[in-house]
Structure 1
Amino acid sequence: MVYSQSISLKCLPRKLNDLTLQGVADLPISSLVEEVIVNGEGKLTSQGAITVKTGKYTGRSPKDKFIVDESEIKDKINWGEINCPIPESTFDKLYDKVLNYLSERKIYKFNGKVCSQEEYTLPIHVITERAWHNLFAKQLFINDNKPIHHNDSLLYPGFTVINAPGFKADPKIDGTNSEVFVIISFRRRIILIGGTEYAGEIKKSVFTVLNCLLPERNVLPMHCSANIGKHGDISLFFGLSGTGKTTLSADENRFLVGDDEHGWHDNGIFNFEGGCYAKCVNLDKEKEPQIYEAINFGTVLENVVIKRENGEPDFFDTSLTENTRAAYPLDNIPGALNSGKAKSPDVIIFLAADAYGVLPPVSKLTKEQAMYHFLSGYTSKLAGTERGVSYPEATFSTCFGAPFMPLDPCVYAKMLGEKIERHNVQVYLVNTGWTGGPYGKGKRIDLEYTRNMITAIQTKEIEKSSFHPDPVFNVLVPENIPGVPSKILTPRNTWENKLEYDDKAKILAQKFQENFKQFTNIPSQVYAAGPNI
């Protein structure tokens, strides 16, 4: 294969089909690493990973994300603060500006795909201003140059991601909210990104596209990790950032299907991606050996500080941001499933890091409770993680991924309920947050205990226990689990001041109820499945 170091858009027509640049070969990882170093975009660590800084934007910019208001999708999108419309004329002008900007610069190109299940495959063409963004795409998406043999009008011919971080929008002229923009055009099949170096925008904008297209094919898109046991049992892990989704799914006794995005169709689940995007703040070799060892040559480390004395990454240094990330291919994890496909799940685990210290560490949910907590998507935003946050704040993110769900959330919840019932899936809620008191008084539940709870769920050992209903949160709590002190299973027992526990539990229950008022198109049984006050 002949590799092209870079391509120029100067001589290219403005048509979308020409932008896909069919037939131009991708750079291999080694050449992209070399380009990153030569361009001064990043540095090598002692393990051969690339470390880069994303500047002022160290996370996603949700208020700068738009969907082009086009007739084909106008009545499908759940328009609002999350899914903001932008006129076609505004997009076209900005699109033309970005192409003119890139025409004067060296750019990089990657051709890949998402969705490991063949009939749902979506080709992805990524054009980037920076070599390291192209390396990121190559590590995260599926690298497979095999021709795609289908004529599906939904998925063919794919989407083109154009990433120009050096181009800053002018809100007064360009119709954006700031210099940053992430815009999806379903008619033109283009994702236009500018003004930000944060690579997660590439990954999550493609995920948003799938969350719009796949439900029409009776595929439930899910923001979850998945692994498989040695006896073929499948577990799904849903959870927001910081709840332990990646950590708990990377289990040396199980095989990883994928760490973040999956689809669930009639015959099983499949991974959307070919890589992992792991949060690596405080990454410890002893506690998370699989993730630690996966960070090697070609891995992209975002905002990770490097020790001057030995060139090793310092995962405990959060001077740039707490949102440090590592992007590496799935096969860097020992035993990961290269196929990215598995049967339907046996268990679903919702993860919540409750900083109020009142949710049970583990509880069993009915189908209706599963739909309720799926729509709620609860976790806590911790004090100190953001400027101005002095006390834990309850955070609700619909479907455990509200910023990436363009349809009415009830669409996804109903699909989940139908699949749980059809495949007889047991669902559990696991709290990886605090016990013995709230953040600042209690302590984080030991990772060892949480792993033992997860193991008990996966082996069905938990079903041998007696259960009692939690009087506030209306879920079933086990009496005992091997390797876990029975006292912590009922959180009220761990608090010295029981009345203070009651007050905090009531506050959180009220927040659940208040948040759930937004859902008007859901069965009454699901409403009744939430917390009691």
Structure 2
Amino acid sequence: MQNMLVMPTASELAQFESNAFPRPFVIFNAGCFPCNRHTAGMSSSTSVALSLCRGEMVILGSQYAGEMKKGVFTVMMYHMPLRPARHLPPAERALPLHSSCNVGPDGDVSLFFGLSGTGKTTLSADPRRELIGDDEHVWTSKGVFNIEGGCYAKCINLSEEKEPEIFRAIRFGSVLENVVFDQCNRKVDFDNVSITENTRCAYPLQFIPNARIPAKVDTHPSNVILLTCDAFGVLPPISKLTKEQVMYHFISGYTAKVAGTEMGITEPQATFSACFGGPFLAMHPFAYAEMLAAKLEKHGGHAWLLNTGWVGGQYGTGERCALKYTRQLVDAVHDGTLAGLSDDQWEPMPMFGLLVPKCGIKSVPKEVLRPEEAWAANGQSSAEYRKAASNLADLFQKNFEEYADRCTPAVVQAGPQRAPEVVAALEAKKVEQSKSDTETFKPESRMQAAA
């Protein structure tokens, strides 16, 4: 935890008292010592209990350091939106974010949101920009600061060639977790997953050469990038979001799992996590989305949806968007190329309403940026694309049902809508089904059947 969080100063430690205000948050971690499985509500020997009113967290039967880190983040998700005062407008309060953050040489700040496998860590680690942090931040009325003082990086299949910054950060002072190493020469085998695939390394932020210390900026983000890995090949590699759309897609927190990532998955599966951090939310997702949109509006920031997933078809028929293209699109966000496009250079895509460029961006071809054209270039019909898009739209709508009652109508309508022909076909099917049911349950039909 000394590596992952910010170490307190001597004066801060001197103020640590049980009756202090604000109340200090204390973590009691018993490591592998199990909880009593016979206690009501217990289903295993592991228990992670958090009390906001007591300011305490108790961990039993787990040596996973991430439990402590995420416990602290959950506390921040509750307390920060109430500061400096709960009566202030959304743009003035502190917004906790499950995101990475970096800053350019001109002081422009970017936030990256994304679930596992979307490229959040890879894309935010830019040698031309300073890293503020890779996971947990708070956007205040003055700027952005990192909750943590270190990184908790995944180590599975780690190599210096693929991720040089992380590989070089693993040195004296870093802490490896769940890795297998040679007992004689102490060399770590990062490809060995015999303990778990969730191998980790905790190291202080200063182990990253281009990290900013202290990890904070006094300017507001000019770009918010929502990352997704769409394995269905429906979403465009880059799209511009309206205020309502950024709220909708932030609340949705969509990505997709593909075959081989988890046992039993043979085809793409959509997964949603509200605000890209569902397990850690202490309030309704709309509360956080409202604050995000308000801050973007007040400070003139732009919001983008960046798909690092498949183009030209879904997983198995299309191909994953080349990393070189994705990096160029991120560069186009940072250097203002995309923000500089006039309104007539954007076009809404069917069903989803996302604004897509009409032209190529840097060396990224136009057909790559426009999903239906990418499918056609790969030998697939528009009907096939629209069917896939309609299916994904259904998944979005079904997921959003959980949150719609607390959202404004404009935000609900900002999500994907079924194509008119699909709606007409479904209505026709309902009419036919209704007629069939009527015929089946006519009294004379039942009497004839009985006779």
TM-score in terms of structure 2 length: 0.83
Q: Are residues 225 and 216 of structure 1, via their aligned partners in 2, closer, same or farther at CA, if it must alter by over 3 Å?
A: same
Please say if 1:147 is aligned against 2:27. Answer: no
Show CA shifts across 1:263-319 (max 9, x none): 111111111010011223333423432222222222222333436896443434444
Alignment correspondent of 1:497? 380
SS at match of 1:462: coil
Q: Are residues 150 and 163 of structure 1, via their aligned partners in 2, closer, same or farther at CA, if it must alter by over 3 Å?
A: closer
Alignment correspondent of 1:301? 176
What is the distance in 1 between the residues matched to 2:259 and 2:11? 49
Alignment correspondent of 1:345? 221
Asked if the contact 1:154/1:213 (under 8 Å) is kept, the reply is no
What is the distance in 1 between the residues matched to 2:168 and 2:326? 22
What is the distance in 1 between the residues matched to 2:321 and 2:182? 31
SS at match of 1:416: helix
Alignment correspondent of 1:327? 202
What is the distance in 1 between the residues matched to 2:279 and 2:299? 28
Show CA shifts across 1:82-119 (max 9, x none): xxxxxxxxxxxxxxxxxxxxxxxxxxxxxxxxxxxxxx
Please say if 1:486 is aligned against 2:366. Answer: yes
Any gaps of 5 or more consecutive residues in structure 1? 1-136
Alignment correspondent of 1:255? 130
Q: Are residues 486 and 286 of structure 1, via their aligned partners in 2, closer, same or farther at CA, if it must alter by over 3 Å?
A: farther
What is the distance in 2 between the residues matched to 1:472 and 1:321? 41
Q: Are residues 474 and 318 of structure 1, via their aligned partners in 2, closer, same or farther at CA, if it must alter by over 3 Å?
A: farther
Larger Rg: 2
Please say if 1:235 is aligned against 2:110. Answer: yes
Please say if 1:508 is aligned against 2:360. Answer: no
Alignment correspondent of 2:28? 162
Q: Are residues 198 and 150 of structure 1, via their aligned partners in 2, closer, same or farther at CA, if it must alter by over 3 Å?
A: closer
What is the distance in 2 between the residues matched to 1:300 and 1:247? 21
SS at match of 1:162: strand
SS at match of 1:460: coil
Alignment correspondent of 1:462? 338
Please say if 1:286 is aligned against 2:172. Answer: no
SS at match of 2:39: helix
What is the distance in 2 between the residues matched to 1:357 and 1:244? 16
Show CA shifts across 1:225-282 (max 9, x none): 1000001000000011111111111111100011101111111111101001122333
SS at match of 1:368: helix
Please say if 1:530 is aligned against 2:409. Answer: no
Shift of 1:323: 2.7
Shift of 1:150: 11
SS at match of 1:140: coil
What is the distance in 2 between the residues matched to 1:483 and 1:305? 42
What is the distance in 2 between the residues matched to 1:387 and 1:413? 33
The residue type equivalent to 2:248 in the other structure is Y
Asked if the contact 1:322/1:385 (under 8 Å) is kept, the reply is no
* Residue pairs, 1:113-128, within 5 angstroms: none
Asked if the contact 2:94/2:139 (under 8 Å) is kept, the reply is yes
Which range is displaced more, 518-527 or 278-287? Answer: 278-287
Alignment correspondent of 1:417? 293
Q: Are residues 154 and 373 of structure 1, via their aligned partners in 2, closer, same or farther at CA, if it must alter by over 3 Å?
A: farther
The residue type equivalent to 1:415 in the other structure is M
Which range is displaced more, 183-192 or 299-308? Answer: 299-308
TM-score in terms of structure 1 length: 0.71
Asked if the contact 2:16/2:24 (under 8 Å) is kept, the reply is no
* Residue pairs, 1:344-493, within 5 angstroms: 344-465=220-341, 466-478=345-357, 479-493=359-373
Show CA shifts across 1:4-51 (max 9, x none): xxxxxxxxxxxxxxxxxxxxxxxxxxxxxxxxxxxxxxxxxxxxxxxx
SS at match of 2:225: strand
Aligned residues: 397
RMSD over equivalenced CA pairs, Å: 2.2
What is the distance in 1 between the residues matched to 2:335 and 2:203? 30
| Identity of matched residues, % | 48
The residue type equivalent to 1:458 in the other structure is H
